[in-house]
Chain A
Amino acid sequence: MAVSDETPRTPALDVRDLSFSYGGAPALQEVDLRIAVGEFVVLLGLNGAGKTTLFSLVTRLYDTRHGHIAVEGHDLHRQATHAHACMGVVFQQPTLDLDLTVKQNLLYHGALHGMTRRMAYERAMEQLGRMGMQDSLQRRVRQLSGGQRRRVEIARGLLHHPRLLLLDEPTVGLDMASRRALVSHVHELCASQGVAVLWATHLIDEVYADDRVVVLDQGRVKADGHVADIVAAQGSETIGAAFDRLVGKETTP
């Protein structure tokens, strides 16, 4: 029997049989999701599909009662600090302190990950440089545009060099050009830094042709595969049409 030399790598994110409910109303049901290191995955679902609940569980804002979550092999329940150290998060709501400068916000985040001021400053310059925003270091967040703020949040999420970057609808409130630029930028980050990315959205135009897509609807995973596979499986012509069919939005002729 042939034995492969390659040992299977621990997934960046491993979610198994995850269920969650709010006061008896199910929000997630038996969700399974694995993301490999350096993989870009789009979590596609309508509003109320359970995307933010999934993020709240993966970041341990809520505790997992049914199911299992591991980040880089660290069980989120038993090894929360190790798991948190491996993940960067960009929440749906903006979470930067508007009255502080970009530098002060990033140094604060660095401190929350145990970095010295010097290390946090160097990392901040590195990440802002990648975003083309190093000139904004001393600007107050309040003075930045929506797109710039989102870029700072992504820079902040990457400051501690996480292996997994979670983005919950990061383009909310941005114009089309800013949205495109942001999606493209995170794809580049994923390719260049080998960071696994979970990108939650309800916008079809944020899906690239070669992305892996997980369709979430009413708390259940309805499809999981590359765009071409999902489109073929649904007998549709586009990922938009396939998505509509999967979530029951399809219009009858």
Chain B
Amino acid sequence: MRGGAYWHCLRGVVTRELLRFVHQRSRFIAALVRPLVWLFVFAAGFRMALGVAMIEPYETYIRYEVYIVPGLVGMIQLFNGMQSSLSMVYDREMGSMRVLLVSPFPRWYLLICKLLASTLVSMVQVYVFLLIAYVYGVQAPLTGYVYILPALLVTGFMVGALGLLLSTFVRQLENFAGIMNFVIFPMFFLSSALYPLWRIREGSYLVYQIASFNPFTYAVETIRFALYEQFNMTASTIAIVTTLVLLTMAIWGYDPSRGMLARKGGE
């Protein structure tokens, strides 16, 4: 295959994912309603109870709504990544996954195309959410909306690769829903998405320790710092390394000669 062919393959996979997204308006609305409920309802309620001290990257005291916006961006990507992996299980059950897997491109490349496509879809959702938040009064510096692009890419790949990896362990759609509950909610709530780590430590040292080991914490912090035109080296490095590890494991899982699919397929 020539280099141009790889581009056409990527374009095709991304176009299909975007077309499917456009056709599934309810999915788009559901993806927005969830973080908006947090922003408009929960944050308004918690505002008085949870004051946020002056912490990096913020230069002054901030409202709770301002604090949770990067976490809600991460939430959109987390749910989208899992939804995309859920569709992989569905596609595998329904057979359309096979069309992808019998393509004459290396399987690792096809999976990366799929992950990139799903990440781009999540980025569309994120920007619509950020626009609504901006109108609502949660406003970051304008250049911050450009700086978060790489952070969104890393987070999208990270949660997408995790979902992809989980999908290799699951044979039936029904089982995946259960796994999602055991992954999505702990990953989101045991992170710095809703409360700063120092606040969590005040409440429970154990939860703080768990949140400190949760890679989603570092994805959220990468987004938070980027949105305010800063670069958090530690958070970004941990997020990137986690992404690479999960991606490698997911590709291994989808290798018919080595991964989980091979073990399920037979011997």
Min distance, Cβ B262 to any Cβ of chain A, angstroms: 5
Min distance, Cβ A191 to any Cβ of chain B, angstroms: 25
Q: Which of B1-55 contact A (CB under 8 A)?
A: 1-2, 4-6, 8-9, 11-13, 15-16, 19-20, 23-24
Q: Interface segment, A107-115, A177-185, A232-240?
A: A107-115
Let me know if B135 is at the binding interface, CB within 8 A: no
| C-alpha gap A56/B1 in the complex (Å) | 23
Contact, CB under 8 Å: A107 / B256: no
Give chain B's interface secondary structure class. helix
By a CB distance below 8 angstroms, the chain A residues around B240 are none
By a CB distance below 8 angstroms, the chain B residues around A23 are 266-267
By a CB distance below 8 angstroms, the chain B residues around A104 are 16, 19
The answer, among A61, A93, A109, A114, for a CB contact under 8 Å with B101, is A61
Residue-by-residue, is A77-97 near B (CB-CB < 8 Å gives 1, otherwise 0)?
100111111010101111111
| C-alpha gap A99/B26 in the complex (Å) | 14
| C-alpha gap A24/B257 in the complex (Å) | 17
Let me know if A222 is at the binding interface, CB within 8 A: no
Let me know if B127 is at the binding interface, CB within 8 A: no
| C-alpha gap A62/B257 in the complex (Å) | 7
Residue-by-residue, is B73-112 near A (CB-CB < 8 Å gives 1, otherwise 0)?
0000000000000000000001110111111111000000
By a CB distance below 8 angstroms, the chain A residues around B257 are 63, 77
Contact, CB under 8 Å: B267 / A21: yes
| C-alpha gap A115/B4 in the complex (Å) | 9
By a CB distance below 8 angstroms, the chain B residues around A77 are 257
Interface size on B, residues (CB 8 A): 35
By a CB distance below 8 angstroms, the chain A residues around B141 are none
Q: A61-B101, A81-B104, A114-B5 are in contact. Are A97 and B265 (CB under 8 A)?
A: no
CB nearest neighbor in B for A22 = B266
Let me know if A171 is at the binding interface, CB within 8 A: no
Contact, CB under 8 Å: B267 / A114: no
Q: A89-B98, A113-B104 are in contact. Are A63 and B16 (CB under 8 A)?
A: no
Contact, CB under 8 Å: A108 / B12: yes
Contact, CB under 8 Å: A97 / B96: yes
Q: A62-B256, A93-B95 are in contact. Are A82 and B104 (CB under 8 A)?
A: yes
By a CB distance below 8 angstroms, the chain B residues around A138 are none
Let me know if A100 is at the binding interface, CB within 8 A: yes
| C-alpha gap A187/B12 in the complex (Å) | 31
Let me know if A193 is at the binding interface, CB within 8 A: no
| C-alpha gap A96/B94 in the complex (Å) | 10
Contact, CB under 8 Å: B104 / A111: no
Contact, CB under 8 Å: A114 / B105: yes
Contact, CB under 8 Å: B12 / A91: no
Let me know if A20 is at the binding interface, CB within 8 A: yes
| C-alpha gap A114/B12 in the complex (Å) | 9
Let me know if A127 is at the binding interface, CB within 8 A: no
Min distance, Cβ B98 to any Cβ of chain A, angstroms: 6
Let me know if A47 is at the binding interface, CB within 8 A: no
Let me know if A59 is at the binding interface, CB within 8 A: yes
Contact, CB under 8 Å: B96 / A61: no
| C-alpha gap A114/B24 in the complex (Å) | 27
CB nearest neighbor in A for B110 = A112
The answer, among B11, B23, B94, for a CB contact under 8 Å with A111, is B11
Contact, CB under 8 Å: A97 / B102: no
Contact, CB under 8 Å: B265 / A62: yes
Contact, CB under 8 Å: B95 / A60: no
Q: Given contacts A84-B102, A104-B16, A111-B15, could you give 4 more A-B pairs where the C-beta distance is less than 8 Å?
A: A56-B265, A61-B265, A107-B12, A110-B12
B residues near A (Cβ < 8 Å) are 1-2, 4-6, 8-9, 11-13, 15-16, 19-20, 23-24, 94-96, 98-106, 256-257, 261-262, 265-267
Q: List 21 A-B contacts (CB under 8 A).
A: A20-B267, A21-B266, A61-B101, A61-B256, A62-B265, A63-B257, A77-B257, A83-B104, A89-B102, A91-B99, A99-B23, A99-B24, A100-B23, A104-B16, A108-B13, A111-B9, A111-B11, A112-B99, A113-B9, A114-B8, A116-B8
